[in-house]
Chains A and B, each alone.
Chain A
Amino acid sequence: MKSTSPQLVIENKQPNFTWVDGLVLLTLFGMLWSVMHFGQGMLVAFDPASVPELDFSTSQIPYYAGRTLLRMWIAFCFSLFFAISLGYLAAKNNAARAVILPALDVLQSVPVLGFLSATVAGFMALFPGSLLGIECAAIFAIFTGQVWNMAFGFYHSMVTIPNDMQEAASTYGLTRWQRFRTVELPASAHSLIWNSMMSFGGGWFFVAQSEAISVMNKDIKLPGLGSYMASAIEKGDNHAALLAVAAMLFLILMSDQLIWRPMLVWADKFKIELTESGLTPTSWVYNLLRGTYVFTWLGLNAWQPLADALGQTIRRIKPAAKRVRPGAINWPLRMAGLVLTAWLGYEAIIGVFAAIAALHGALTVPVVGHIFWLGFLTLLRVLAMTVLATIIWTPIGVWIGFHPKAARFAQPLAQIGASFPVNMTFPVVVGLFVATNTSMNWGSILLIAMGTQWYILFNVIAGAMAIPNEMKEVARIYGLRKWQLWRTLILPAIFPFWVTGACTAAGGAWNASIVAEYATWGDTTLKADGLGAFIAEVTKSGDTALIIVSIAVMSLFVVAMNKLVWRRLYGFAERRFRLD
């Protein structure tokens, strides 16, 4: 039986070794060397009693950049692993889901600095006399800035895999591993990579916070761009600060261009819809690398045998497994889950009791009341930022969204804006505030917006781009003008996107307030009345009870805002303004 349709000849072109392959190989070896080189610096001896000064010479900047980058990647690898594990568990197991989803919700709202203060002592005890303990704490802090969002994303794409794709996997008797490898991971790849890119971008924001740690009233500065910047800020050194900013921008740009853009373009083939979509991202690096010999060879001779071997091993451990239907119960796994949950619950209770013991007697009602008042002030700032950014960026975002050429440039730029650490703007901003006599109570709104407004911008762009052409044409035919057009078409259409953007921005704003409400430059310190500034101060002075309470209060505000405002707006947007 032969097909009668036109013959489609697909040339099976054997890729040849070219100069690109040489470049790729060089890069791979370079990366390997860098990891070893920069990694060595993590293992040096360290004594908290005598903290060495950071070498402040300009020539050290490339080395510091390398250390920072390595930290980011280590944290990211852990995030990826945990996000996939947590998301997978939550999607597959009802009991696990009942624990994981609410836990993620709460953990997501705890400011990154909170994790840092809570864990640094533990990590130092784990590796006594080595810098590795502090490195771990810093990496853990970056990890906590990335992982929750990625886990949610992975969970969401797992549960939205079309049912028939899962059923096909069941009828063909795929093992759990095969199902994960052929169906679930590819189906989630696009969203996982997109989320990774966003989280990694957010990670830059925290890397600056996490490299300069205060423990036991001592400032510890890990070698890295963030602490170099911190030193420059302390000294008020314009030249050094400028160099650090340039280096940071360079790192962010390079990561975007060399890693994330190509990954995103590659992930386009994992989109589930079978039709070709409109605007696809492009990447010059991807075009260069596509079909190179090295990657083809690695895929064929390294990845596939590895994955097959892993599959074989799993099959050997659990031989002749019955074909499982989706949702079937696995008893050993369930028992393991129960034990794990019990242990986690036990730890959590112990932790809560320890916290209560630490707080006992150390706090008075007025102090807690004051902290809540400060939280309220910061809440006002977060809301002000959201409103201002919405007013400013909505028209601009819509304009960009209606002009695809502009969108192609603006979206990556907004992403870079979102990754740029706030404290790197202090050299300019603090001077400006002092010169213009701006009160930090107002000025900090601007600083908070610096890192968070972009989420609103690029979601509005995405929303404007998603408006179907027919709807715009209808509006033109009936001659809708200005405000009419906005009210009947544009605002409802972008509303769901705006909610996503504003929710992310507001969540980030709480985190940012810790940096943005407490700005220093040389001897000048500008401080706003707010919970962020309060947390920054108490972590500096190392008052455990106040740290715990202030961070708990901030988490409470974030959770409450999510539940009372954003969740409802999501529901409303979903019901009323979905475009299909």
Chain B
Amino acid sequence: MTPAPEPELREALLAAVPSLRAFAISLSGQVDRADDLVQDTLLRALANLHRFEPGTNLNAWLFTILRNLFHSEYRKRRREVEDPDGSYAGRLKVQPEQGSHLDFEDFRSALAKLPADQREALLLVGASGFSYEEAAHICGCAVGTIKSRVNRARFRLASLLNVEDIEDLGPDSMTRAALQG
């Protein structure tokens, strides 16, 4: 009776694309690869629509799919690295973006230095707007694990970006400390 996917569902999937892309790009560091991941995520979601419980968070479900695809692909690629044909190294050098991201160059390279589990935890909680509980569900781990990963990610970023040094040198650090106390 109801044609599937319904127009609303198509709209909902399309509406999820910007946040899926932002997550995939930040996770993988490569736009081309991120777009492939998003496409695979949409295809897998459509093929498994019967598993989605209506009324639950569609975005969280899509993020779970994307994250799982990213990790299984990552494992595959690690095996590829052992192949001596150099194709992986060649792909790593590809510069996927031009211009617009220069402002965030330092931040992005610091983010890329984080272990993958910390990076994804920080992205889910600090940028994608998921709660610790939702992030734990997406990553298939305990809430405490997510909290600890987010903490460590922030701490590592702060030291990589010398954020603390800036604050120490800042003229208003005393004022802020007084206000906070």
A binds B: no
